[in-house]
Structure 1
Amino acid sequence: MATIRPKISDQQRRAMLVRRHLLTPATHATAVEQVAEALVALHATEPATVFLSVAARMTGATPQMVERALYEDRSLVRMLCMRRTVFVVPRDLAPVVEASTARTVAARERRALAGLLADQLGHDTAWLASVENEVTAALAGLGEADATRIADAVPRLKERITLSPGKPYESRVRISNKVLTVLAAEGRIHRGRPRGTWASATFRWTLTEPHPQLPAEQARVELATRYLAAFGPVTLDDITWWTGWNLTATRTALAGTGAVEVDLGHAVGYVLPGDPVLGPSQGTRTERAVSLLPTLDPTAMGWRDRDWYLDAAHAAELFDRNGNICPTVWCNGRIIGGWRQRADGQIVTELLTADTDRGLRTAIAVEAERLTAFLGGLRISPHVRTPLMGRLSQDRVSPTSLQG
């Protein structure tokens, strides 16, 4: 007799998302590290995202708290890992991420750089190794330095290569950033405190303290377990996409978690044994859960299949051509619009739903005020360009507008 899979509705998934991802005042974290642990990893392609993802989910958050976790306590580690994306992960998870995903990414980055150096400059792998040794030796002496200062100490980093030759966006760049990226991907150096504000993308670099080396298969099971705990129910396609693994590695890791199959209506999903979503109903929610989440927030980018929390008709308004999502407005586990900070510092929003009321307007205004207080006068501008972001940049848009 065939096993009957437990059926999990979209409403159940959204309710679980709100609780697990700390999207109500009742579930807000009291420490920066708690936010990172709840989400497994914080997107860090845009530096401000790390700070704003924390601010949306933590009581009394300040930029200084996040900076302390990143650059003083180093309880959070910035890594190039899943899908060749920069993430910030809890320090105890760094060896798992390194072995399960970053190691493969680093190997690809090294091959690509070696090919560029050989084809364009005639340099072999021994030449690259000697330059890398000079970089680590320079950082041992400098302690912390940006790419320009490192290149002054290692002049060979100033040699130039052509990226995307023949394309409209062809560029001629120093090899310094490519070399530093490879070293960072391999865990030999890491990004330290940025120059300028906490939202700056110009980082200083420091040497990395070595961490335990784990077997790749064991690490993939651990990462899949963490992902299921934070994002489940998920489909096989979700796991493959989020991790960047091939299908064989994904199936093996999923089997290692002991995951239970569930019926999501349109697809087979997976949860960990004993997942709360399999238990009794959590009751009817009375508190409205409203959040303003930043560009590439881990919740918005947590699944490949997004129809259960985003109306497919609105995707083109929120995502750019590369699949990156702009800042979003959430209510009860659904994306209902987007937001942006204007040049004058005001937070403006546009909703993509006609289902609005005064209570929702008030809740959004409260979150906008909380975000404004966190920013403390700093101006941020997302790099993701979407139609909705274009409209919100116009002066005619008023703070927390509800345009449908």
Structure 2
Amino acid sequence: MRKVTDDERRDRIGLRHALAAATAGVEDAVRAVACLHATEASSIYLSAYARSRADRESISDALFGRRTVVRQLAMRRTVFAFPADLFAAARGSAAARVARQLTARLVKDAELAGISDGAAWVAERCAEALAAIREEPGTTVQLRARVPELSTRIAAEGRPTVLAPVGSRVLTVLAASGSVVRGDNAGKWQTSRPVWTAVEQWLGEDPGVLDEREGYRELVRRWLWSFGPGTEDDLVWWLGATKTAVRRALDDVGAAPAELEDGTPAWLHPLDDEEVRLDGDWAALLPTLDPTTMGWRRRDFYLGGHAPLLFDGAGNAGPTAWWNGRIVGTWTQRPDGTVEVVPIEPLSRAAAAALEAEAEKLTAWFDGEVVATGYVPPIVRGRINRQAAGGAPGR
């Protein structure tokens, strides 16, 4: 059993996640971390840029032109951007699990609204919406106008006394099932206004669905190569799956047992038997919910004690600044679009200079645009509050 030190794990982040050296293109940048978080539309662009240095036009082409990167609701009910060749695996495993959960909740809420057979009613609404999308793709607003039943008001999810139109929830069920995908974007690159499109229309053909066991096996195989060594708990969290599903997938992959620096049992990809070492320093500025920041449940080896400054109570992280495999700060934009690094610990001259160089590159990439995030790190919120109160910005 091989022991993998924290130093080696940090070197692996630089190499495997394409942060120490850029990939050849957008698709390779996505594969470097299995898939990209896509909760915020801008994060897809910023995560791809950090790993490939691609401009916005090239990233948009991968999403909407070549369609080699596909957005899909999957693990932990989160939207991800998958390589197109991983779509069938996610669709049959993590996404299918979410679809079942969403459908069951929708059925329950329909019956709370007085519909006697909630399951049949939900199936009818899904069929009507899918037929309308196949006839002509559309945004949620457009589809509600074309399919009046999608405006039916039932109990809102988690709020039984509040009634809300069912349309968005029906479309979310279809999206989780993989019947429809987020096709073109009716908004700007940094906002999400998906044009719902049937999967066979968007990709040219239906890519199929791997069965649950095979789907999890493929997701775990790719995660192990990018994020390994990782623990069983890391995978249960990342997949939003059961321990039974994870243990079976690890066995199916033939994962190699390993040991972390503190003695915790972990797993490696079966072909990952060489020590990974990285010569030279590297710096990176990653966006909200970047897959590197969010890839493990146990984060001390790259996060240290900084979680309260960067993560909210639900475990979501805002933008992060990295130096040699550790998070050493966050970053924000000034009103003129200039990117500013906000350290959360003392930085060496080399680290400060490298991060400032990254900030200058990212400022040029933004080209004057300012992108808001819904996940402002606590340390930045405090900074904003001090500025609003007329105090010194501080760090």
**Residue 14 of structure 1 aligns with which residue?**
10
- Displacement after TM superposition at 1:249 (Å): 1.2
Matched, 1:279 2:277: no
**Residue 72 of structure 1 aligns with which residue?**
65
Segments of 5+ residues of structure 1 without an aligned counterpart are none
Contact between 1:350 and 1:392, CA under 8 Å: does it hold in 2? no
| Distance across 2 between alignment mates of 1:396 and 1:55 | 30
Note the 1:97-136 alignment, pairs <5 A.
97-122=90-115, 124=117, 125-136=119-130
Contact between 1:326 and 1:389, CA under 8 Å: does it hold in 2? no
| Normalised TM-score (structure 2) | 0.92
Classify 1:8/1:166 alpha carbon distance in 2 versus 1 (closer, same or farther; 3 Å). Answer: closer
Q: Deviations over 1:323-382 (max 9, x none)?
A: 10010000000000111123331212211112x233322211221122122222222111
The amino acid of 2:7's aligned partner reads Q
- Displacement after TM superposition at 1:396 (Å): 5.2
Classify 1:179/1:362 alpha carbon distance in 2 versus 1 (closer, same or farther; 3 Å). Answer: same
- Displacement after TM superposition at 1:188 (Å): 1.2
| Distance across 2 between alignment mates of 1:280 and 1:129 | 52
The amino acid of 1:113's aligned partner reads L
> Structure 1 stretch 291-300 or stretch 105-114: which is displaced more?
105-114
Q: What SS does structure 2 have at the residue aligned with 1:282?
A: coil
Matched, 1:23 2:19: yes
Q: What SS does structure 2 have at the residue aligned with 1:39?
A: coil
Matched, 1:154 2:147: yes
- Displacement after TM superposition at 1:138 (Å): 2.0
- Displacement after TM superposition at 1:171 (Å): 5.3
**Residue 261 of structure 1 aligns with which residue?**
257
> Structure 1 stretch 44-53 or stretch 62-71: which is displaced more?
62-71
Q: Pick from 267, 270, 293: which aligns with 1:270?
A: 267
| Distance across 1 between alignment mates of 2:123 and 2:111 | 13
Aligned length: 385
Note the 1:85-96 alignment, pairs <5 A.
85-96=78-89
**Residue 203 of structure 2 aligns with which residue?**
none
Q: Deviations over 1:16-40 (max 9, x none)?
A: 111000112xx20121110111110
The amino acid of 2:121's aligned partner reads W
| Distance across 2 between alignment mates of 1:94 and 1:190 | 11
Segments of 5+ residues of structure 2 without an aligned counterpart are 201-205
Matched, 1:251 2:247: yes
The amino acid of 2:360's aligned partner reads E
The amino acid of 2:115's aligned partner reads G
- Displacement after TM superposition at 1:311 (Å): 1.2
Classify 1:123/1:206 alpha carbon distance in 2 versus 1 (closer, same or farther; 3 Å). Answer: farther
Contact between 1:350 and 1:402, CA under 8 Å: does it hold in 2? no
Note the 1:3-402 alignment, pairs <5 A.
5-24=1-20, 27-59=21-53, 61-122=54-115, 124=117, 125-142=119-136, 144-163=137-156, 172-209=163-200, 210-266=206-262, 267-275=264-272, 278-280=273-275, 282=277, 285-286=279-280, 288-312=281-305, 314-354=306-346, 356-393=347-384
- Displacement after TM superposition at 1:166 (Å): 6.4
Classify 1:177/1:357 alpha carbon distance in 2 versus 1 (closer, same or farther; 3 Å). Answer: same
| Distance across 2 between alignment mates of 1:174 and 1:10 | 49
The amino acid of 1:140's aligned partner reads R
| Distance across 1 between alignment mates of 2:232 and 2:65 | 38
Contact between 2:283 and 2:355, CA under 8 Å: does it hold in 1? yes
- Displacement after TM superposition at 1:292 (Å): 0.4
- Displacement after TM superposition at 1:204 (Å): 1.5
Q: Deviations over 1:31-81 (max 9, x none)?
A: 11101111101001111111100011113x111111111112111111111
Q: What SS does structure 1 have at the residue aligned with 2:301?
A: coil
